[in-house]
Amino acid sequence: MIKGLYEAHLPVSNLARSIEFYKKLELELAFQNDILAFFWIEKGRSWLGLWETDQVQTPYHPSLRHVALHVDKKDIEHAKEWLGDKGIQIKMAFDFPPDRQPLVLPNNPHAHAAIYFQDPDGNSLELITPLRLDVEEDFPMMSLEEWSKGSGYSK
């Protein structure tokens, strides 16, 4: 029945400014009116809605104002440079500074690599890719660089 997530929404204070930011992420503008814009994440399968509203002042919490965007493993390895080339700064996440990201999330029995940044309104954005699924093995959070060097954990 359910095939995937079709849409997610974020509040923004200035729609025009946000449209320019999300275009830098190479998302395709699918629809726009005076207070709303939709960007395709995967055309015909999923999109992100941006709503110009004063609700952008809602304090951040992981359950609010956060979107994780799936990327391929080969792309996460170059995500820091890709974002930097677009003038987008990496933010501190889970006590990992930008220079130690992407980081590996130990969501046992899964492992994901992720990198974190914000849009102009402070909405939390994440690029994420699975590294392994359904492998029961505890390990500490670490940088992707440490993971790739073979820190003794299954991949």
Q: For 70-82, write each residue's pLDDT tens digit.
A: 999 999 999 999 9
pLDDT of amino acid 81: 96
Regarding beta strands 7-12 and 46-52, do their DSSP bridges make them parallel or antiparallel, or are they unpaired? parallel
Q: Look at residue 132 and give its three-state secondary structure.
A: strand
**Candidate CATH numbers 3.30.720.110, 3.50.50.60, 3.40.50.720, 3.30.365.10; the one for domain 65-155:** 3.30.720.110
Tell me the C-alpha distance between 112 and 61, whole Å. 21
Residue 13: half-sphere exposure toward Cβ, Cα within 13 Å: 8
Of 135 and 30, the one with more pLDDT:
30
Domain chopping of the chain, boundaries: 1-56, 65-155
Q: For 104-146, write each residue's pLDDT tens digit.
A: 999 889 999 999 999 999 999 999 999 999 988 888 999 999 9
| Contact call for residues 9 and 66 (beta carbons, < 8 A) | no
Q: Tokens for 142?
A: 């670490």
Candidates 80, 79, 50; CA nearest to 67 is: 50
Q: Compute CA distances 82 → 44, 52, 71, 92, whole Å.
A: 25, 27, 12, 17
pTM for this model (two decimals) = 0.91
Domain 1-56 carries which CATH code? 3.10.180.10
Q: Tokens for 43?
A: 């055309």
Burial class for 65, CB neighbours closer than 10 Å (0-12, 13-18, 19+):
buried
